Each structure stands twice: as C-alpha cells, then as structure tokens.
Amino acid sequence: MSSVNSILVTGGAGFIGSNLVLTLQERMPNARLTVIDDFRSGDFKNLAGYRGDFVAQNLATLDWRKQFGDEKFDAIFHLASITDTTLHDQFIQTHDNVESFRRLLNFAKPNKTRVVYASSAATYGAASNPSVETNGAAPANVYAFSKAIMDNLANHAVKDVSGWIIVGLRYFNVYGPHEAHKGVPASMVYHLARQMKAGQRPRIFEHGEQKRDFVYVKDVVEASLRALEAKVSGIYNVGSGSARSFNELIDVLNSTLGTDFKPDYIENPHAHYQNFTQADLTSIRGALGYQPQFSLETGVADYMRWLYPKSVES
Ligand SMILES: NC(=O)c1ccc[n+]([C@@H]2O[C@H](COP(=O)([O-])OP(=O)(O)OC[C@H]3O[C@@H](n4cnc5c(N)ncnc54)[C@H](O)[C@@H]3O)[C@@H](O)[C@H]2O)c1
C-alpha cells in the first residue's frame, strides 16, 4: 500500500510484533506507528530504537472509540494474543483472544480499515501431511480454539462488509531475535541453543523424529508486509514450507555453534502434541507472492549471529 501513512500494531512489544514494528519503521520511515500492548508477555526492551506511539492497554477490554476518537489508521496488524499454548484456562484464553479481535474489528469496520491478524498453524491440530488452508480447523487445545474462532469472525466480517480486506496469517513455528521474554513458550531453536551454549545436552522428546515447519521471523515479517498489498481477503499459511525433525535441528545447531552434543531424549508428557507441522505454501505464493528466503540452516545461522555475536562466525 503505497499510500499508507498510519499503521497500528497490536502486540508490538512481543516477539513477532516487535520485529514487524522495527521493520515497518525502517522501510516506511514516514509512516506514523502506534503500538498497543499490555505487556502480559511482551517487553519494552524489544522496542529499542522505536520512534512511534505506544498505548499500554488490554485489548480484551479496550474501548477503541474512547481511546482513539475518530482517528483513522490505514492498516492494523493484530498480533496481540495469549501465546502460552499450555495455558488451559478456557475462559481466559478464549475471552481475551476472541474479544480483543471482536473489539478491533468493530473499530475497523466503519472505515473498512485493512486488518492483518495472526492466526496459527495450531488451528490444524494433529496432521501428518502438509496443511492446506481449506482443511477444516481441528484445534487440540483452547489456544488453537481461540484462533479458529478468530478465523470464523474474520470470514463472517468480510462476507458482511463488501470491499473490506482482512488477511489472516497462520504462522507456523516461528523462531528468531526478540523471543527470549516468552520463557517456556519460546521456540525450540531458542531453548536448545541456550542449553547447548550452557554446555548441556539438548533435551528433546523421545525420539526426536517429530517434525516441525520452523520458520524464521524475518520471513514471517516479509509475509506480513505483503499482506498490506493483498487485493482480496484470505487466510494463508506462513511457514518455511519444509518439515524438519528435532534431531535435524540439533544437527544444525551443533554445526552452527561448533558443538557436538547428542540429544538427551525425555518422555513427552503432553497428551495432545503436534508431532508434525508443515505449511503448504501454494495459496500464499499465488495470492501474495510470498517465498521464504531462509532454510533452517540459514535462519539458525542468522539468529545465532544475533544471539551470540561473539561466538558465531559471520
Ligand atoms: N511465535 C510463533 O511461533 C507463533 C505461531 C503461530 C501464531 N503466532 C501468533 O503470532 C502472534 C505473536 O506471537 P509472538 O510469538 O510474538 O508472542 P508474544 O507473546 O511475544 O507476543 C504477544 C504480545 O501480545 C501482547 N498481548 C497479549 N494479549 C494482549 C491483550 N489482551 N492486550 C494487549 N496486548 C496483549 C503481549 O504482551 C505480547 O507482547 C500471536 O497472535 C500468536 O498467537 C505465533
């Protein structure tokens, strides 16, 4: 959108949100940026160098009109969400994630403000083949359920209001700079790297052959920016397009960090666990021209240079 000059990002103090905000600031230096975040998992430190506005509010209860009056935004990126998938409180997870989105849509509707929101690969539940957007939702936990309801709300909204563009992005397993604040829900790439840098064998679930579509945050940001140009509404997968095993990830980390650790296999305590995720990218390639630029090897190398600048060679 060449005419964009005012962009709002929810969840901008978080992992993906802060990467997006800082890239928007760099690529669109004249755009006015506003972040909304209540810091429930995010951290102001992720926004070092940010020159825009910041509204510290809980979106699940925010009165948008009171906050912003008639102020118009050219686009809203909605990334705020409870992101701890092991938080099983059904009311809080569904209430906060869904009501935040409903309030945002109600604000965006009169001006048909473009909305790009984060859905999730979790909506697919258990899979053994690459997931295609037309597969029905099969949420295995309440986090995924809340995202599936958000997809339903988006689908209803674009049917009800012609010409309103809403793009949902089903991120797969994202890793990269600015995720440390997430603690346990941070990516496996982050946790395994930390263990290995501390001289410990990396701990993974038996027997490491589970496969994930690990996608680098820089690719996720590119896909999100492309959604600013989308001509029509849609819900798209955002992944690397490849499924790589936990064992392979440890090999990649060993070769990047110059270590030689064998995995320490532990029993998987989770009853419902995504043993396989892989994004089919046919739809987003066609609609948004998205093509991931990072393999697991190059993404991990880029990330480790950022995380351990003194010990990983360029
Ligand atoms: N990281 C991944 O692998 C991944 C995968 C699929 C989908 N997603 C989605 O991408 C988005 C960003 O995730 P992330 O990994 O950056 O997580 P994150 O926890 O770092 O970011 C979420 C941000 O939203 C804020 N937030 C949460 N609820 C809020 C509320 N009610 N009001 C205001 N702020 C609120 C948090 O404080 C945090 O800064 C989320 O919607 C998440 O569900 C992430």
Q: Can you give the CATH number for the domain in which 275 is found?
A: 3.90.25.10
Kindly state whether residues 256 and 136 are assigned to the same domain. no
pLDDT for the residue numbered 2: 55
Kindly state whether residues 269 and 184 are assigned to the same domain. yes
Kindly state whether residues 103 and 187 are assigned to the same domain. no
Kindly state whether residues 143 and 204 are assigned to the same domain. no
At 76, is the pLDDT very low, low, confident or very high (cuts 50, 70, 90)?
very high
Percent of all residues in the chain with a pLDDT value above 90, rounded to a whole number: 94
Tell me if 314 is assigned to some domain. Answer: no
- CA–centroid distance, 97 to ligand 1, in Å, is 10
Nearest CA to ligand 1 atom 1: 174
Kindly state whether residues 136 and 56 are assigned to the same domain. yes
Q: Give the chain's domain count.
A: 2
129-161 pLDDT, tens per residue? 999 999 999 999 999 999 999 999 999 999 999
Percent of all residues in the chain with a pLDDT value above 70, rounded to a whole number: 99
What's the whole-model pTM score? 0.98
Check whether 3 has a pLDDT greater than 80. no
Ligand 1 atom closest to Cα of residue 42: 39
Check whether 314 has a pLDDT greater than 70. no
Kindly state whether residues 229 and 266 are assigned to the same domain. no
Kindly state whether residues 20 and 151 are assigned to the same domain. yes
At 274, is the pLDDT very low, low, confident or very high (cuts 50, 70, 90)?
confident
Cβ atoms of 30 and 5 closer than 8 Å: yes
Kindly state whether residues 101 and 192 are assigned to the same domain. no
Ligand 1 neighbours (beta carbon < 6 A)? 11, 13-17, 36-42, 58-60, 79-83, 96, 100, 118, 120-121, 171, 173-174, 182
Q: Give me the long-range contacts of 280-286 (CB less than 8 A, separation at least 24).
A: 280/130, 280/131, 280/132, 280/133, 280/237, 280/241, 281/237, 281/239, 281/241, 282/132, 283/132, 283/133, 283/234, 283/236, 283/237, 284/223, 284/236, 284/237, 284/238
Task: Residue 17: give its domain's CATH number.
Answer: 3.40.50.720
For 259, the domain range is: 179-212+243-279+294-307
pLDDT for the residue numbered 86: 83
pLDDT for the residue numbered 55: 98
Kindly state whether residues 96 and 233 are assigned to the same domain. yes
What mean pLDDT, rounded, does the chain reach? 96
Kindly state whether residues 136 and 197 are assigned to the same domain. no
192-234 pLDDT, tens per residue? 999 999 999 999 999 999 999 999 999 999 999 999 999 999 9
Check whether 1 has a pLDDT greater than 80. no
The residues that are catalytic are 143, 182
Kindly state whether residues 34 and 140 are assigned to the same domain. yes
pLDDT for the residue numbered 99: 98
